[in-house]
Amino acid sequence: MAEIVMKRVNQDKKPLNLRRRARLGETVIQALLFFSGFFSIFTTIGIVYELGKEALLFFQMPEFNFIETLTSVEWKPHVGKFGIWPLLNSTMMTTLIAMAIAIPLGLSVAIYLSEYSSPRVRSVLKPVLEVLAGIPTIVYGYFALTFMTPVLRELFGRDVVQIYNTGSAGLVMGILILPLITSMTEDALSAVPRSLREAAYAMGGTKLEVALQIVLPAALSGIAAAIIIGISRAVGETMIVAVAAGAGPNFTFNPFVGAETITGHIVRISGGDLSYDSVDYNSIFALGLFLFFTTLFLNVISQAVVRRFREVYE
């Protein structure tokens, strides 16, 4: 037996090759994996190309006038009035109200969880916040319409507060964004090393002074990123405003009357039978593209903030 093997080896005159062989299977698999990875690029290209293409048709319409769009306060695409302000204004209003709720509450909860609460309390509260974050936004929409709006109407009077209003949508949106800001801020606060806190305590700082003057500044980049992501989420939030903020563009600064946001407008327009290549059809692409670039811009800023201002500790 052994002789046969030896013979075989001797017959095979080529020296044993230990170099990597090209394996077809491995190459094919690597190509497939690369394709999967590259797929997300297609998505981005798809968004920019498809949305851009239809948006371009919108911008090229004879009635469209760029200066008028930026100055007019009437959005009636059917009669050639393309003032963006009614939609943009209500988007900014709901976002502002939401952040007015979510930033102070979110930061307070995060500071409480990270600096004050016992591990046991935290282990109960964090899952509660996760539950809050996992509830579909349509449920928040229902909540805004059937709870927050009646509450506002009781508080401020039925004549003052309309059934559909941006205030209730904004408030509920704040509750929606609260867990997002809390969890990102809490992560940032927990990443600040213990030694910093202990040094501050050794200097005689109270708990509050340590939290606000030492830990908070050290985690500022993470907190700023959380707030920016929160804003981006509020701008793109759709179902709450679609249900509770009212139908029909309305240029107003009154949070108690109905006004349609960009996202709410897209949902209402596309909810009906939308025919291809109509003014409405093209307009939602233009608005979608605007939303895409706005949120992209905010996300990029937030990443840049983290990179630029992060305090790195050993």
Partner 1 sequence: MKEKAVIQGFVKNLKARKRTGLVWHVVFQASTVVGIIALIALMLNVIDGAFGYVAYEARVDPDTLIVDGMPVEDQNKEQLVALLQSTLSSGAYNKLDNEKSFVDRSREEVYQLVVERIIKPKVVQVWKLWPSLTQADEIRATVAQDHPGAELDFVSWLTYDFVSRPQTSEPLTAGVRTAIFGSLWTILFTILFAFPVGVGASIYLEEYASDHWLNRIIQTNINNLAGVPSIVYGILGLAIFVRALEPLTSGEVFGLVDPTTANGRTVLSAGLTLGLLVLPIIIINAQEAIRAVPRSLRNASYGVGATKWQTVWSHVLPNAMPGILTGTILAVSRAIGETAPLVVVGASTAISFDPSSPFSKFTTLPIQIYQWTSRPQDEFRSLAAASILVLLVLLLTLNASAILLRNRFSRRY
CA distance 243 to 245: 6
Site for partner 1 in 95-114 (CB under 8 A): 104-105, 108-109, 111-113
CA distance 17 to 194: 56
Binding of partner 1 by 138 (CB under 8 A) = yes
Q: Quick one: 192 or 266, whose CB is closer to partner 1?
A: 266
Given a contact cutoff of 8 angstroms between Cβ atoms, the answer to whether 241 and 261 are in contact is yes
Query: Contacting partner 1 (CB under 8 A), which of 6, 9, 100, 131?
Result: 131
Site for partner 1 in 238-257 (CB under 8 A): 238-239, 242-243
Q: How far is the CB of 3 from partner 1 (least distance, A)?
A: 28
CA distance 237 to 180: 13
Given a contact cutoff of 8 angstroms between Cβ atoms, the answer to whether 229 and 302 are in contact is yes
In this structure, how many other beta carbons lie within 10 angstroms of the beta carbon of residue 238? Answer: 17
Binding of partner 1 by 180 (CB under 8 A) = no
Mark 189-228 with x for binding to partner 1 (rule: CB under 8 A) and - for no binding: -----------------xxxx--x----------------
Q: Quick one: 6 or 203, whose CB is closer to partner 1?
A: 203
Binding of partner 1 by 72 (CB under 8 A) = no
Query: Contacting partner 1 (CB under 8 A), which of 10, 43, 60, 118?
Result: 43
Query: Contacting partner 1 (CB under 8 A), which of 5, 16, 17, 38?
Result: 38
Q: In Å, what is the CA distance from 260 to each residue of 90, 145, 229?
A: 6, 15, 22
Given a contact cutoff of 8 angstroms between Cβ atoms, the answer to whether 248 and 258 are in contact is yes
Q: What does the angle CA 43 – CA 60 – CA 293 come to, to the nearest 5 degrees?
A: 35
Query: Contacting partner 1 (CB under 8 A), which of 142, 191, 251, 257?
Result: 142
Binding of partner 1 by 186 (CB under 8 A) = no
CA distance 128 to 108: 16
